A = this chain, B = another copy of it.
Amino acid sequence: MPLDNIRTVTIAGAGLIGGSFALALRRAGFSGRILGVSSSHTLARARQLGVIDDGVSLEEGAARADLIYMAQPISRILDQLPALASHISPGALATDAGSTKRTIVETAERHFPRGAFLGGHPMAGKESRGVESADPSLFEGRTYILTPSRAADIELPAAREFISWLEKIGARVHVMNPEQHDTVVSLTSHLAQMASTALGKVVLDSVDSTNADYSTAGPGLLDMTRLAMSSYDVWKDIIATNHDSIVNALDAYIDLLKKLRDTLGSSETAAVFEDGARLARQIRSR
């Protein structure tokens, strides 16, 4: 399909994800204008780094763009959706990169005309944040989930052109509905975070109380506590918008840990180890 309806892109939130999307578009051959909506400090840095052409207000960025890419924290996306919807041009598409989808998509449905908003979640990131870390290859080979309000929405022209660009920047597009997305990531992502944070906290409290040092902490504990270093700023929003699914995931985890404790060393433990290893191999063989 021709990639020529999207001539101006507005990046709202020119940090790691938004900045990387802009750089990736450029490298993939996008020759239109890229506008940025962020703090004046971030906009200055983003211009210096060649990430955006110009900084604008949200209203101007919404009015001038054929594609609006919202890469702010979830709570800010939710705050700005109504203003964005009231300034978006006919035929333009707004999309977001928030880590939960149900609340964002439901909010967008109340404000946008049908098909003008398409929820998204790139499974990509880095330890470092900010536009300085923006990287045109961030999305290469990574899953990019799209969560249309109605499955047919991804066939609309603006959505099809956006998806073509996602493919050109190397992302692997998967479509699911917002509820299914939030349930699955509560297990594959949010539970992993809670398990890591809780492990860090238990080791801190228990090893402190035995007055021992951390000389026995090996590479396994390093792996298992990398997520625990994540900022709560990010997780506060994720928890607020996916609370019940995370509680369900924690319940399932707690139940399994109780079973493991009560049958520790029996043949049931061997079976749990086998299944745990099976999942680990499956997610590595994709």
Q: Which residues from chain A sit less than 8 Å from chain B, CB to CB?
A: 123-125, 143, 145, 172, 174, 176, 180-181, 183-185, 187-189, 191-207, 210, 212-230, 232, 235-236, 239-240, 243, 246-247, 249-254, 256-258, 260-261, 264-265, 269-270, 272-284, 286
Q: Which residues of B contact A125 (CB under 8 A)?
A: 218-219
A187–B207 touching, CB < 8 Å: yes
A232–B270 touching, CB < 8 Å: yes
Copies of this chain in the oligomer: 2
Q: Which residues of B contact A219 (CB under 8 A)?
A: 125
**Residue on B with the closest CB to A266?**
B239
A75 to chain B, nearest CB (A): 13
B194–A224 touching, CB < 8 Å: no
Question: In the complex the two chains form, what is the Cα distance from A228 to B222 in whole Å?
Answer: 14
A46 to chain B, nearest CB (A): 25
A52 to chain B, nearest CB (A): 27
A201–B143 touching, CB < 8 Å: no
Question: In the complex the two chains form, what is the Cα distance from A281 to B127 in whole Å?
Answer: 14
Q: Say what secondary structure dominates the interface of chain A.
A: helix
A42 to chain B, nearest CB (A): 25
**Residue on B with the closest CB to A284?**
B222
B276–A197 touching, CB < 8 Å: yes
27 contacts between A and B (CB under 8 A): A124-B218, A143-B216, A143-B218, A188-B214, A191-B202, A192-B221, A192-B223, A195-B199, A195-B224, A195-B257, A197-B260, A200-B277, A202-B249, A203-B279, A204-B278, A205-B252, A214-B283, A222-B283, A225-B276, A225-B279, A229-B277, A230-B277, A232-B273, A240-B265, A246-B264, A250-B257, A250-B260
A281–B229 touching, CB < 8 Å: yes
Q: Which residues of B contact A252 (CB under 8 A)?
A: 202, 205-206
B207–A184 touching, CB < 8 Å: yes
B232–A203 touching, CB < 8 Å: no
Contact with A276, one of B228, B257, B260, B283 (Cβ below 8 angstroms): B228
Contact with A218, one of B123, B240, B278 (Cβ below 8 angstroms): B123
Extra A-B contacts (20), CB below 8 Å, given A184-B210, A187-B206: A187-B203, A191-B199, A191-B202, A193-B220, A196-B220, A198-B253, A198-B257, A200-B276, A204-B278, A220-B226, A222-B283, A223-B227, A228-B273, A228-B280, A229-B277, A236-B269, A240-B265, A250-B261, A250-B264, A254-B254
B202–A184 touching, CB < 8 Å: no
Question: In the complex the two chains form, what is the Cα distance from A180 to B243 in whole Å?
Answer: 39
**Residue on B with the closest CB to A214?**
B283
Question: In the complex the two chains form, what is the Cα distance from A272 to B256 in whole Å?
Answer: 22
